[in-house]
Structure formats: C-alpha cells, structure tokens
Structure 1
Amino acid sequence: MQQDRQREVRVRRADQPGDLGWVVLAHGETYHRQFGWNTEFEALVARIVADYAGAHDPRTEAAWIAEVDGERAGCVFLVSGDEPGVAKLRILLVAPEARGLGLGRLLVGECLSFARAAGYGRVTLWTNDVLASARHIYEGEGFTLADEERHHSFGHDLVGQNWVLDLEPAVAAG
C-alpha cells in the first residue's frame, strides 16, 4: 500500500442511509477498544442519535459525517440545548484509522459555523477528561472548562467535564 498518496477528505451532512447507525456502531466499538467502555456508552449514543433522528429541526440542529476516501471516518452533532440560544455539541468521533488528518477540527469547525448561522450565542459540550485529543480541539476553538465532576459510568471511574464557548454573532454580508 502506498503511504504517501493524498487521501480524499470531505465533511457532509449525516443524511444518507446507514449514517446514524454507523455513528452508534463506531462509538460503541471505538470506545470499547480504546478505553474498555461497556455498552452503557453505546446506549447513551443511541439515545442521542434516536432523539436527533426522531425530532430535529433542520434550521437549528444538524449532524455531519467525515469521510476519508469515500468511507465514513468521523461524526459530530449539534442539537438545541436546554436554554434558548444555547446549543450542544454532541458525540464527536474520529475513527482511529483516520486520526491525524484534521477531521476533528473540520467537524467541529463545521458544527460551530452552523451554530453561528443558526443564531446560537453559546455552545456547550460534555466530555470526559480521558479524551485528550478532543479536548485539544475544543480548547483550540476557544471553549473553556466550566466545571468537572467525578462519576462512574461506562464501567469506569471517570471525570466528566462541561465546556462552554460563547459565540460571536455571525456577520451579515452587505
């Protein structure tokens, strides 16, 4: 296999058959292999995906798939938060074999551009401190750590973190 060839990378909406199922499958398998997390995590992702699939407003909520050479390799969701003007970035994932290509930054960038265009003033996210690569992306986009708390989930003792990003309003052309 030739290692130096240019790989085709693209980010698109998660609107093709199989996309939502892939998100659940990829999260379950990846986090089990990497961190030993059990099916509680896969069930959480399945609930997030099911809620999105069942009742999302395409004007204010969206999901994206990153592809490498035509194969799914990552995802991220943006959904409405619990307060007006606040969105939640959810279930960012880059498959291990696609890491190092900048997919995480592309996905988060797409997500934040959409959030600005949809009129959100703030984006929040919940993650765990063991997810260092994702945290590095969030910090690079300007997210700040709001709080953290120890918890036992997915078969492990973890430190959950809440991150916040206040968005600048989108600048209207003209």
Structure 2
Amino acid sequence: MPEGVDQRQVVIRRADRPGDLGWVVMAHGEIYDRQFGWNSEFEALVAAIVADYAARYSAATEGAWIAEVDGERAGCVLLVAGDSPGVAKLRVLLVTPAARGLGLGTRLVAESLAFARGAGYRTVTLWTTGNLVSARKIYEHFGFTLADEEPGRSFGHDLVSQNWTLDLEGRPA
C-alpha cells in the first residue's frame, strides 16, 4: 500500500441488525437502476427474495451477510434453502460501486459457501443475468458451472437469464 494511504477497515458480518434487510432491497434497486437502467420490477424481485428469507429464516439452514467498509454497508449476500433437500440457493450478491475492487464479493461468497457446507448442503445454485460479468467471475472462481441460459425480457431490458450450479461434495472447502 502506498505511503500515507490508510487501509480501509473491511468486516463481513451476519445481516442481523435493524435496517440490514431493507438496505439489501434499497441498494439493489438504486444501484441496478443507475448501472443498468433496470426498472422497479427488479427491486420488487429482490424485495420478495428478502421478505421470503425474513419470513422463513432458520439459523441452521439459512444466512445473510453484510460487508462493511469503514463502518458503512457496502455489500451483501443471502444463502437460502432451495426447493430440494440438500440444495441451497445463493441470492442477491451485491457490492456497491465505491467498494468494488476490495474483494468483498469473493469474501461474501466464501462466507456463504462455508456456511452451506457446515449446514450439510450438497449443492448450491444461483440465478443471474449474463451481463453481470464481475459476479460471474466470482462464481467461476468457486467452481460454479453454467447449467442453462435463456434469452428473455426482464427489468425493462433484453437479458440472458442464467442458472449456475456448484457441487459442494466434489469441491474441497
């Protein structure tokens, strides 16, 4: 680090403080509108994901994490139970533009995958869109593979919907 530049304080913590879940929804809505011009349909999807997490949260099988930089929220991710036994879903990964490049996305995914292993999940899946290149690089780093993709229209734009899968039993921690 260059002389005279202070290192930023980065913390990954559970999303268990008042306002954390609301911040997840707000940050997604604002950032994806600014970056990609996505409409409120996307924010509504994130709100539904977060509301479902909050309503059925089980500490043994689900978790949410916030990344903070210098005491301010700067990223998030959720890990929720999937539709089948032994399957979890990675949801709503986000790092704010000001905090990108600090490795927060990688740290958030690592935290959620460690939790998934500890909770006994065998597989983790995720849904994303093809234009989210930085996120895809993180997923590939951890061994996720593209299961399928399909072009369509979402959030006011033509996008490629993608489903990714990670076999936890076939990957070392």
| TM-score relative to the length of structure 2 | 0.95
In the other structure, the counterpart of 1:98 is 99
| SS of 1:125 mapped into structure 2 | strand
* Distance in 2 of aligned mates of 1:143 and 1:131: 15
Q: CA deviation at 1:3?
A: 7.8
Aligned to 1:129: 130
- Distance in 1 separating the partners of 2:55 and 2:148: 31
Query: Percent identity between the aligned chains?
Result: 71
**What letter corresponds to residue 112 of structure 1 in structure 2?**
L
SS in 1 for 2:31: helix
Runs of 4+ that moved beyond 6 A: none
- Shift in Å at residue 166 of structure 1? 0.2
Number of aligned positions between the proteins: 170
CA deviation profile, 1:81-127 (whole Å, cap 9, x unmatched): 01110000000000000000000000000000000000000000000
Normalising by structure 1, what TM-score?
0.95
2:140 aligned with 1:156: no
Aligned-pair Cα RMSD in Å: 1.6
Which residue type is aligned with residue 108 of structure 2?
A: L
Gaps of 5+ in 2: none
Match of 1:109 in 2: 110
Residue aligning to 2:45: 44
- Give CA deviations for 1:118-163 in whole Å, capped at 9, x if unaligned: 0000000000010000000000000000000011010000001000
- The reply to whether residue 35 of structure 1 matches residue 36 of structure 2 is yes
Could you tell me how far 1:170 is from its partner in structure 2?
10
* Structure 1 unpaired stretches of 5+: none
What SS does the aligned partner of 2:89 have? strand
